[in-house]
Chain A
Amino acid sequence: MKMIHWTMAILFGMVITSCTLSKTDYEAELSTAIPETTEFEEAFSINSNGYQIRVNALGGTFYKGYNELHFEITETATQEAIANATVTLLPIRTTTNAEAYSCPHSEVVAFQTTDAYYEGYSVFDVETDTDASWVLYLSITVAGETFNLEQPIEVAEQENLNLNMTSFTGNDGVQYYIALIAPVSPSVAENELIAGVYQYNEPETAGGDFPDPSQFSFSEVEGATLLLDPRMPEPNMGNHSSPNNEDLTQEGDGLYYGVVNYTMTGNWTLNFIFQNAAGDVIKGTEVPTDFTPGVEGEKSELYIDILF
């Protein structure tokens, strides 16, 4: 019997050491591709007029693309959170020629009672560079008293291509922006695809004192459709695509929702055709559906590249 025990023990030992090639840790594979920016952290804080204004962003950093921003306002003396303030937001980018531009953003940020902060967003379209310096202008009204703040900020390169964005001039001459919001960390699965679609509104009147929000007006595009065709662009994938995708349409919160299926990890291109509420094509072309191994996949004139 002893011999049998030994044999079993040896066999068991062989089993334990038997795997030659280790299996892929799929969950780790998905998470390593995504920078660790899942927590809201302080980006900056300002003390002014007896209040502390704290601005939080994912990872405490502003990235090119869609940024959800949280504002906390506390009365310095009492350390009490202020809930009934009005906060307006205006990001301004200045070039070396002193030209000023903005980007899609929420003008007035709303207070979230449950979380006790003000929530807004900004879709930075250009990274901070020698030719692009960003300043965030805030106007805060508490108990009838308004004060203005300005804070120079850095807009970092978007490390997570799943939050990539694009801006373009549509066939109607309007400047548009499409920014991906979700999935932040996609899987080889059906993924809910969320995007913000915005347009720049040309000012109708001459500007007042800089910065005049009326000169930098953006709005959510209403009732449009983004026809979706995801493909893997690399030549060796031969224009591979996936089934069961759903075009993006607008829902109650103003954002656009659709479904994208990623069949494997890697580089993907989301090809879009952007139609306005009337069904007219504003931008985008159909891409070939043929399987063409060895040929770089053709892209729509409107697309966003992602990688996971």
Chain B
Amino acid sequence: MMKYLLSPLFLLASLVMNAQDQETTTDSIQQLEAVQVTAKVKKSIATAMKMNISVDEFLASSDNISFIKRGAYAWEPMLNNMSSERATITIDGMHVFGACTDKMDPITSYVESNNLAAVNISSGQQGSANGATVSGSVDLKRKTTPFSMQPKWNGSYRSGFEFNNQQFYNQGNLAYADQQWVAQGSVSYRKANNYSDGNTNEVAHSQFEKFNASVGLAHKTGKLSSLRVDAIFDQANDVGYPALPMDLWLSRALITSATFKQLYQEGWLRAWDTKIYFNAIEHYMDDTTRPENLVHMDMPGWSTTYGLVSKAHLMKGNWHSEMQLNAYDNLSIAEMRMYPQDRSERTMFAYSWPWVTTRFAGLSTNNTLELSAQSELQFGGALGINYNYSKYIDFNWIFHPGAPQEKTRWLPSLYATYHQSIQQFDVAIGGGYGHRAPSVSEGYGYYIYNSFDRYDYVGNPNLKNEISYEVNASAGFQNDKLSLKAKANYFYIDNYIIGKILNMGSPMNYQSVGVKGYTSLAYATLFNFSLDAGYFITKNLQWKGMLTYARGMDNEGGNLPFIRPLSYQTSLQYQYQQFGLQTTFNGDLAQEHYSPAYGEDLTPAYAIWNLSADYTFKLYHFETTVQLGAENVLNQYYSTYADWGNIPRMGRNLFTALQINF
């Protein structure tokens, strides 16, 4: 596969290089900064509350992301209240697939807040640029240092301690830039013990340890072109999952890429950005720390991906366009190794992912047409081809005799949104249509134990494409003091894939109560609504509020699982010179629309109060910020609708943080 990917790349690179010889332009260092045409960019990885946070905590502050949590680590992000297989989650457009069948390693767990610059979240089919999706896309943007006229070093150091789980972390960044070269690196190490819940009881198996490092090297290959290589290495050890019968012994990820970028000063083609990438993930779960288990089981998983992403920016008059080619090849392998009472004797074996290959190639386009100074039309679409191959199809034949070993699917997508501003108001209305292919687990999974509803899940290679029809609308108002924004979307999803109890087979995992097969519902519907407001009470004092509501139903009017109940957040921020004070109050109402069929019970309402203060000063000539705060000040005992096994969340947590920039 790599061979096939490389040859067009080199061809393309040589073309671009030749073209660039004819360029005669003035200095253009500044222009090498990335051209960003994205709908919503979350700037800098910090929230108002807490300046040094995990990627998960950061994403949680977005109004269309919610999380399934199995412990303190590696939360599974849900976009528009849909599980992660319905979203494309990428790092700089690169596809990385977790190696855990139980989704204990979403991609967000393989990066660290200090190697990310921003997170782009696109809702629904607007996120189809990086691959076929239903709920949208989350693209994690890595930090990139621009070239500099003068040789320049800069860096930062962050450290902090969280008292509840004795989490101690240290993070460092260092970058060098001159006219020709950029070199940058980051290192992060966190270690946490078990946390305590609101009743100050320790939650066993909630510890974690994570090391992350990244390096990047860029060279200016011409006045308007650059070549860049990047790598992220991430390793987590001894991560406990209190909601599961087993823990993570080790996970490692190596995420590498080489990017060639060419800018153009004339003509309709403005920028061309091509990246080849490779990533390898290994994820080893076992239950050596759970002697109480009857049967001992190891669940190692591997996921290897090669890919290409090539993006061109086009501009002509009032039309901006982005064309993108995506191609990747992924091999997912997961094993179940069971031991009888005696661990030295390994006697039982099965694949939970029987060497499943996924190949995808897709061409997508995002366009903006400025109709007038007050109105614009965004439209686009994609056409992808998705191929699956299950090497040990025998496993899949046990439940689906005669299912094809190979399957090819076409995945089209279309969307359009119209924006209109009228003085201080702006409104938008849009619609979308798109297909997605079943994920590896949904198509080819084999006895994947889900500890939420305690069923073993079996994939079905014959599943149809999930087809989403969506409409969305937003309305906003903004003046000097007040901002208000209401957003809503509605998805009607044909062939909605979900696990249904099979009246055949019997569970394999001893905690399990039965077998569920991934099945297509005739359809399901999802509605999401959010309201954001901000108000400057005085120049130094700002109030913010957020309200979200969602409802998901299957074709029989039953509730879909993991739909967030009405949730709210209200915060006050006070900033006086170098001193800042923040307080937030947030909570969910009771989850009335829970789904017993999917193992849910009624989660009661909860409300949490957080508080923090920070102060920025010069230490020698370094800009330094210290922060002190408390989360869950009132030490509430609570768990959310999406906590597996109703594992309680963390109780009162005092935290301190220090950041030095130089």
Whether A263 pairs with B508 at a CB distance below 8 angstroms is yes
Majority secondary structure, A binding face: loop
Majority secondary structure, B binding face: strand
Q: Which of A19, A190, A267 contacts B394 (CB 8 A)?
A: A190
Chain B minimum-CB-distance residue to A293: B510
Whether B397 pairs with A291 at a CB distance below 8 angstroms is no
**Minimum Cβ distance to chain A for residue B213 (Å):** 11
Whether A4 pairs with B398 at a CB distance below 8 angstroms is no
Question: Which A residues are in CB contact (< 8 Å) with B335?
Answer: 23-24
* B578 sits at the interface (CB 8 A): no
* B300 sits at the interface (CB 8 A): yes
Interface size on A (CB < 8 Å)?
Answer: 43
Since A18-B254, A189-B398, A265-B348 are in contact, a sample of 17 more A-B pairs with Cβ atoms closer than 8 Å, ordered by chain A residue number, is A11-B229, A11-B231, A14-B231, A18-B280, A20-B252, A26-B349, A26-B351, A188-B395, A190-B397, A236-B294, A263-B398, A264-B447, A264-B508, A265-B347, A266-B347, A291-B507, A294-B510
A239 and B341 in contact (CB under 8 A), knowing A24-B349, A263-B350, A265-B347? no
C-alpha spacing A1/B17, complex, angstroms: 14
Whether A8 pairs with B229 at a CB distance below 8 angstroms is yes
Complex interface residues of chain B between 499 and 534 (CB less than 8 A to chain A): 502, 504-508, 510-514
C-alpha spacing A18/B232, complex, angstroms: 13
Whether A240 pairs with B507 at a CB distance below 8 angstroms is yes
C-alpha spacing A236/B348, complex, angstroms: 11
Complex interface residues of chain B between 395 and 420 (CB less than 8 A to chain A): 395, 397-399, 401
Whether A236 pairs with B336 at a CB distance below 8 angstroms is no
Whether A261 pairs with B398 at a CB distance below 8 angstroms is yes
**Minimum Cβ distance to chain B for residue A282 (Å):** 27
Question: Which A residues are in CB contact (< 8 Å) with B347?
Answer: 265-267
Complex interface residues of chain B between 312 and 346 (CB less than 8 A to chain A): 333, 335-338, 340-341
* B278 sits at the interface (CB 8 A): yes
C-alpha spacing A137/B399, complex, angstroms: 48
A188 and B282 in contact (CB under 8 A), knowing A237-B510, A264-B338? no
**Minimum Cβ distance to chain A for residue B107 (Å):** 17
Of A72-80, A121-129, A241-249, A273-281, the segment with at least 4 beta carbons within 8 Å of chain B is A241-249
Q: Which of B284, B340, B510 contacts A21 (CB 8 A)?
A: B284
* A60 sits at the interface (CB 8 A): no
Question: Which B residues are in CB contact (< 8 Å) with A234?
Answer: 340
**Minimum Cβ distance to chain A for residue B308 (Å):** 16
* A170 sits at the interface (CB 8 A): no
* A98 sits at the interface (CB 8 A): no
* B590 sits at the interface (CB 8 A): no
A266 and B504 in contact (CB under 8 A), knowing A189-B398, A236-B340? no
Complex interface residues of chain B between 61 and 118 (CB less than 8 A to chain A): none
Question: Which A residues are in CB contact (< 8 Å) with B507?
Answer: 238, 240, 291
* A235 sits at the interface (CB 8 A): yes
Whether A266 pairs with B398 at a CB distance below 8 angstroms is no
* A37 sits at the interface (CB 8 A): no
Q: Which of A232, A244, A265, A294 contacts B401 (CB 8 A)?
A: A244
Chain A minimum-CB-distance residue to B402: A190
* A300 sits at the interface (CB 8 A): no
C-alpha spacing A236/B508, complex, angstroms: 9
* B379 sits at the interface (CB 8 A): no
* B437 sits at the interface (CB 8 A): no
* B256 sits at the interface (CB 8 A): yes
Question: Which B residues are in CB contact (< 8 Å) with A143?
Answer: none
**Minimum Cβ distance to chain A for residue B402 (Å):** 9
A18 and B512 in contact (CB under 8 A), knowing A265-B347, A291-B506? no
Per-residue CB contact flags for chain B residues 250-264 toward chain A (1 = under 8 Å, else 0) read 101010101000000
C-alpha spacing A244/B403, complex, angstroms: 14
Whether A189 pairs with B395 at a CB distance below 8 angstroms is yes
Whether B300 pairs with A263 at a CB distance below 8 angstroms is no
C-alpha spacing A242/B337, complex, angstroms: 18
* B392 sits at the interface (CB 8 A): yes
**Minimum Cβ distance to chain A for residue B390 (Å):** 12
**Minimum Cβ distance to chain B for residue A174 (Å):** 34
* B219 sits at the interface (CB 8 A): yes
Chain B minimum-CB-distance residue to A235: B294
A19 and B506 in contact (CB under 8 A), knowing A8-B229, A187-B394, A294-B294? no
Whether B510 pairs with A236 at a CB distance below 8 angstroms is yes
Per-residue CB contact flags for chain B residues 227-265 toward chain A (1 = under 8 Å, else 0) read 101010100000000000000001010101010000000
List the 7 closest A-B pairs by CB distance, nearest first. Answer: A189-B394, A236-B295, A266-B348, A264-B350, A243-B504, A293-B510, A243-B505
Whether B514 pairs with A18 at a CB distance below 8 angstroms is no
Whether A4 pairs with B227 at a CB distance below 8 angstroms is yes
Most chain A CB within a 10 A radius of its CB, from B229, B284, B349 = B349
- Can you list 16 residue pairs at the A/B interface with Cβ under 8 Å? A15-B256, A18-B282, A23-B302, A26-B351, A237-B348, A240-B507, A241-B506, A244-B398, A244-B399, A244-B504, A264-B508, A267-B348, A289-B506, A291-B507, A291-B513, A294-B294
